[in-house]
Amino acid sequence: MSKPLEGIKIIDFTHVQAGPACTQLLAWYGADVIKVERPGAGDVTRSQLRDIPGVDALYFTMLNSNKRSLTLDTKTPEGKEILTKLIKESDVLVENFGPGALDRMGFTWEHIKELNPGMIVASVKGFSDGHHYEDLKVYENVAQCAGGAASTTGFDDGPPTVSAAALGDSNTGMHLAIGILTALRARDTTGKGQKVAVSMQDSVLNLCRVKLRDQQRLDRVGYLEEYPQYPHGSFSDVVPRGGNAGGGGQPGWVLKCKGWETDPNAYIYFTIQGHAWAPICRAIGKEEWIDDPAYMTAQARQDKIFDIFGTIEEWLKDKTKFEAVDVLRKFDIPCAPVLTMKELANDPSLRASGTIVEVDHKERGTYLTVGSPIKFSDMKPEIKASPLLGEHTDEILESMGYSQQQIKDFHERRVV
Ligand code: COA
């Protein structure tokens, strides 16, 4: 089956997570992604958090599937020559080096544009160009702190908290992928490439826009009625941490189910959707609340919302999280079990949809990874193993017109 991005050649100068997540996505959809790595070392994640000695770590294999690997020392004159040739015949260069590294390598945007006017250069940095922190190197949690996620996550009596979701890394990579596809579309009409830049701070903030909404509401009215601090606690002049409160107009909370005393994940998330009040009351056996003026409107419920959650927990006491959801789904109540990674890994629906896939790797055998979260009616992305370090060096150099002798010399001089 042909893939929509077939024919797009990408120089993948990315490492760790933010950049690799972006180029992996484009590789799934058919782009020829050539991962350029330093000879002998490669992406640092190949060796970070290894579970099998001497074998590429899952950190690497789960972010670099469907790519080809070319080792190249781009700080040597010959390495620069090879890269120059590659730039001339590629469509996109993606990088997430520290600030200024590509320029120091001798490949400024102006130079790349001269070499190939159709080239799209896509970059991830911690902060945007011209930002007062533009010189900083940034990792995931730094970005979550700088983008507003940490100050608004966690509980009121605890410190700023980071999320397990890679809001700074993979999320930025997804933003960059959208930027690259947009620039490719623009190039279809103009013939010109362009520079696409995404900062991790901006990408986190984009996902935290409801908190910027809340800051402005707080500035105006002095309180936020959907936060647990309302109406019994107090507000300062900044958006507080809201614990597990629902972030929109529907109150919600994580509620204990049968077994919570020993199982840290025996919980469900329960949402009190305004128009579902009557079904909720019926589901939990509190029909008398349906027409009770003290409960029947969202406003009336607000000051006793945690007592209501307490009553629901009483009802949940003899039900596992799965049994509870099976009852509540019949009443059309938005809810879900709190699922562990182990449960997700073995979830038959996720296996069937291709969201969790088993991949066969030359050295580690079979491993699980997350497949394409985007589903297409006309394409099912096939998730292939990540490449070994330099696995495709010779075939790529050959396709660029280098002779066997030249390739041998490059290896001997550690250019590749
Ligand atoms: N051949 C020769 N040199 C190479 C090379 C190659 N194939 N690939 C990379 N390098 C060099 C670069 O030129 C650079 O050298 P320089 O600093 O002397 O100019 C160096 O290797 C890489 O530097 P850097 O990217 O700054 O690595 P780091 O390990 O110090 O920092 C990060 C890592 C992630 C903090 C940093 O890259 C960063 O801030 N990136 C942008 C934000 C980001 O994406 N962070 C999230 C990562 S998940």
Please give the pLDDT value at position 248.
Answer: 80
Integer Cα distance of 357 and 383 in angstroms = 8
- Tell me whether strands 252-256 and 267-271 are parallel, antiparallel or unpaired: antiparallel
CA angle 388, 391, 393 (to 5 degrees): 140
3-state secondary structure of 415: coil
Amino acid found at 24: Q
Place of tokens 């589901």: 283
Pocket of ligand 1 (CB under 6 A): 16-19, 36-38, 72-75, 96-98, 101, 104-105, 124-126, 137-139, 169
Rounded distance from Cα 56 to ligand 1 centre (Å): 19
For each successive 10 residues of the chain (416 residues), what is the average pLDDT?
Answer: 93 98 98 98 97 98 98 97 98 97 96 98 98 97 98 97 98 98 98 98 98 98 94 95 89 97 98 93 97 95 95 98 97 96 98 98 97 96 98 98 98 97
Mutate which of 69, 137, 162, 169 for ligand 1? The one with the most ligand atoms within 8 Å of its CB, which is 137
Q: Which among 195, 203, 209 is positioned nearest to 127, based on CA atoms?
A: 203
Rounded distance from Cα 44 to ligand 1 centre (Å): 10
Q: Which atom of ligand 1 is nearest to the CA of 168?
A: 46
Q: Which atom of ligand 1 is nearest to the CA of 136?
A: 39
Does residue 326 contact residue 318 with C-beta atoms inside 8 Å?
no
Q: Is 8 exposed, middle or buried (0-12, 13-18, 19+ CB in 10 A)?
A: buried
Q: Which atom of ligand 1 is nearest to the CA of 169?
A: 48
Rounded distance from Cα 97 to ligand 1 centre (Å): 4
End-to-end Cα separation, the chain, in angstroms: 33
Rounded distance from Cα 122 to ligand 1 centre (Å): 15
Alpha carbon nearest to ligand 1 atom 48, residue: 17
Please give the pLDDT value at position 117.
Answer: 98
Ordered DSSP codes for 324-363: HHHHHGGGT--EEE---HHHHHT-HHHHHHTSEEEEEETT
3-state secondary structure of 13: strand
Integer Cα distance of 221 and 105 in angstroms = 52
Alpha carbon nearest to ligand 1 atom 14, residue: 101
Q: Which residues make beta-bridge pairs with 212?
A: none
Looking at the annotation, which residues are catalytic?
169
Please give the pLDDT value at position 1.
Answer: 64
Q: Which atom of ligand 1 is nearest to the CA of 100?
A: 19
Rounded distance from Cα 101 to ligand 1 centre (Å): 7
Give per-residue pLDDT as tens, 10-46: 999 999 999 999 999 999 999 999 999 999 999 999 9
Whether the predicted model's global pTM rises above the 0.85 cut = yes
